Amino acid sequence: MRILVTGANGYLGRGIVKQLLDLGNEVIATDFKDDLIDKRAQIICENLFEVENPYEYFKKPDVLLHLAWRDGFVHNSINHIDDLSNHYKFIKKMIDSKIKQVSVLGSMHEIGFYEGSVNESTPCNPQSLYGISKNALRMAIELECKNNNVIFQWLRGFYIVGNTECGCSIFSKIVQAVKRKEKEFPFTMGINQFDFLDYDTFCKYASDTISQNEINGIINICSGRPEQLSSRVERFIKENNYNIKLNYGAFPDRPYDSKAIWGDDFKIKMIERNK
């Protein structure tokens, strides 16, 4: 397939582009910069929101994978609200041009404060501007796809574990602290339980999902089980032989973070079985 990947130079974009290319897909990769994009892709540096006819401009792709999003780790940035209509308008232009399939990266932050396993029917009550914006985009694009008979996939991500300093996750921040030769890392009490998935596995699951069109709708890209934050971070430090210790209680837990939340992995297991 010919797949347009937006946000291709981002933390997730670079890994997913590589996986899609390894699967034999033709990839059109776009972002503001291209220094981290696999050079096997056809790379176009552009501001998506300024392209009048993106379907034609990006070489008539079969599938849109929309990863582009700024301030994803700054959950109450006003940019989430400011950019929302631009994301909607861009994707709507692609739908109006008769693209066959639209896949968009979502987030467990759409759910809000919830305890237990999350499936596609779990009600959403987001507690941050990031979650509110992602959830609004999901509902709007799902409706557009339904009205235009376009395949819709919403790739709901949970917590991704990667040992790269690129990024703003707690794991990336630990890598950054290690490179600064710091011996302690300020931390919460780490008692919350989340759904963690290794970076390479996440990229593989996302690539496998958009490379098929039989299982659609909201798809949790997840491990399907909860793990305590402190346990996963301690294990991450041990796995990478880092000489750094967690300073427990240096930061309070975020009030909008669920005490225990994880994804129902039924759909992603079906996709992997059907490969």
Copy the structure tokens of residue 3: 């797949």
**256 within 8 A of 127, measured Cβ to Cβ:** yes
Model confidence at 61: pLDDT above 90: yes
Residue 130 burial (C-beta neighbours within 10 Å; 0-12, 13-18, 19+):
buried
* Residue whose pair of structure tokens reads 């793990």 in the numeric block: 227
Model confidence at 185: pLDDT above 80: yes
Provide mean pLDDT across the span 56-76: 95
How far out from the chain centre does Cα 155 lie?
A: 7
Kindly calculate the radius of gyration of the chain based on its CA atoms and give it in whole angstroms.
18
Model confidence at 84: pLDDT above 80: yes
Q: Say what percent of the chain tops pLDDT 70.
A: 100
Q: Which fold has domain 2-159+195-224+261-273?
A: Rossmann fold (3.40.50)
Provide mean pLDDT across the span 38-44: 98
Model confidence at 168: pLDDT above 80: no
The overall average pLDDT reported for the chain is 95
* Residues 169-184: tens digit of each pLDDT: 899 999 999 999 999 9
Provide mean pLDDT across the span 146-170: 91
Model confidence at 72: pLDDT above 90: no
Model confidence at 121: pLDDT above 80: yes
Give the residue extent of every domain in the chain: 2-159+195-224+261-273, 161-193+226-247
Given 11, 57, 114, 130, the catalytic residue: 130
57 is catalytic: no
pLDDT for 169: 86
**118 within 8 A of 84, measured Cβ to Cβ:** no
Model confidence at 167: pLDDT above 80: no
Least confident of 63-67, 69-73, 178-182: 69-73
pLDDT for 206: 98
This prediction has a pTM of: 0.94
Model confidence at 104: pLDDT above 80: yes
pLDDT for 202: 97
**141 within 8 A of 150, measured Cβ to Cβ:** no
Model confidence at 20: pLDDT above 80: yes
Phi, psi of 89 (to 5 degrees): -65, -40
Output 227 or 255, whichever has higher pLDDT: 227
Provide mean pLDDT across the span 158-171: 86
Within 13 A of 147's CA, how many CA atoms are on the CB side?
9
pLDDT for 133: 98
pLDDT for 176: 94
Q: Residue 85 and residue 130: Cα distance in Å, rounded?
A: 14
Output 169 or 63, whichever has higher pLDDT: 63
SS (H, E, C) the chain: CEEEEECCCCHHHHHHHHHHHHCCCEEEEEECCCCCCCCCCEEEECCHHHCCCHHHHCCCCCEEEECCCCCCCCCCCCHHHHHHHHHHHHHHHHHHCCCCEEEEEEEHHHCECCCEEECCCCCCECCCHHHHHHHHHHHHHHHHHHHCCCEEEEEEECEEECCCCCCCCHHHHHHHHHHCCCCEEECCCCCCEECEEEHHHHHHHHHHHHCCCCCCEEEEECCCCCEEHHHHHHHHHHHCCCCCEEECCCCCCCCCCCCEEEECCHHHHHHHHCC
∠ CA(88), CA(95), CA(274), 5° rounding? Answer: 105
Provide mean pLDDT across the span 16-43: 97
* Residues 241-257: tens digit of each pLDDT: 999 999 999 998 877 78
Q: Residue 210 and residue 212: Cα distance in Å, rounded?
A: 5
